[in-house]
Amino acid sequence: MPNPSSLVAGALHRAAPLNRPPGRSALAIGTVGRTGEALINSLLAHPDYATVHVAVEAPLRSTLPRLRPWRIDPDALARPGDPAGCALPPVDDVYCYIDGSRSYYGRDRAYVPASAGQVPELARLAAAAGARRFILVSPLPAFLQMAAPAGGALHLREIGLIRLGFETLAILRPTTTGGGGRGNLLERLVARGASAMLDILMPQGLQPLSPHRIAQAALTAAALGPGVHLIGGDRIAALAPDHRTMPAS
């Protein structure tokens, strides 16, 4: 396996100085659940973004001129190298939130969910479309946060993202207790009870953050500058110290 440290160093060497013209454009993928909704709202509220595309799998009418639905065929993502239905718009920044649960009330049924297995193809498509910054929000269960390497890639999938040579690559691993949004009512109640007990046992620095703070941290991470930024659950809170304040960039 390649040395992740050497790949990070290589990506840093390749990164060009960041010259951000006014009116950046962004694409948000995987915007399901409360965190996905918070990510869309945060992007729309951010003054740097003149255009915010959001990946959808069904027609969606937007009443906001800055919000532009972008149709993607989710099945095409399972066919790497097949451009049909999978072209991404030419944007500056791509935000990808994976493994989110759809809203119980179906408010996000038009949006495209994203899984960990789809990330390599999405990142390749983003790079091919000219994206300069790729921000991946990849939740990690609390018990795995303890074993995650500090500042290091977790697996070959993340190493593959580094090799694509984005000007800025940020991988955020917010803590999740998981399971609270899936299953029937009884299953959700049991999961929430287990999550509450785990919250008591885990270190304060690894406590799950609100969806808004996770979205805020993602936008702040995008503005950290050129290079590769691998941000574990213990560091994400520092990127969103005030959940009511938009990050400067």
- The strand ranges marked E within the chain are 24-29, 49-56, 67-71, 93-97, 133-137, 140-141, 168-172, 175-176, 227-231
Q: How much is the pLDDT for 81?
A: 59
Assign residue 10 the CATH number of its domain.
3.40.50.720
| Averages of pLDDT over each 10 residues, the chain, 249 residues | 44 40 86 94 95 91 87 76 73 92 81 89 93 94 62 68 93 73 54 59 68 94 94 85 47
Q: How much is the pLDDT for 27?
A: 97
d(C-alpha 175, C-alpha 172), whole Å:
10
Strand order through the sheet with 49-56: 67-71, 49-56, 24-29, 93-97, 133-137, 168-172, 227-231
Q: How much is the pLDDT for 141?
A: 75
Question: Could you tell me if 69 and 60 are in contact, meaning their C-beta atoms sit under 8 angstroms apart?
Answer: yes
Residue 242 lies in a domain: no
Residue 122 lies in a domain: yes
Q: How much is the pLDDT for 60?
A: 82
Q: How much is the pLDDT for 232?
A: 84
Q: How much is the pLDDT for 101?
A: 80
Q: Which domain holds residue 15?
A: 4-237
Beta bridge partners of 29: 96
Residue 248 lies in a domain: no
Q: How much is the pLDDT for 6?
A: 45
Residue 245 lies in a domain: no
Residue 190 lies in a domain: yes
Residue 194 lies in a domain: yes
Residue 247 lies in a domain: no
- Number of domains into which the chain is organized: 1
Q: Tokens standing for 110?
A: 């038009």
Identity at 57, one-letter amino acid code: E
Residue 97 lies in a domain: yes
Closest CA to 50 of 24, 19, 21: 24
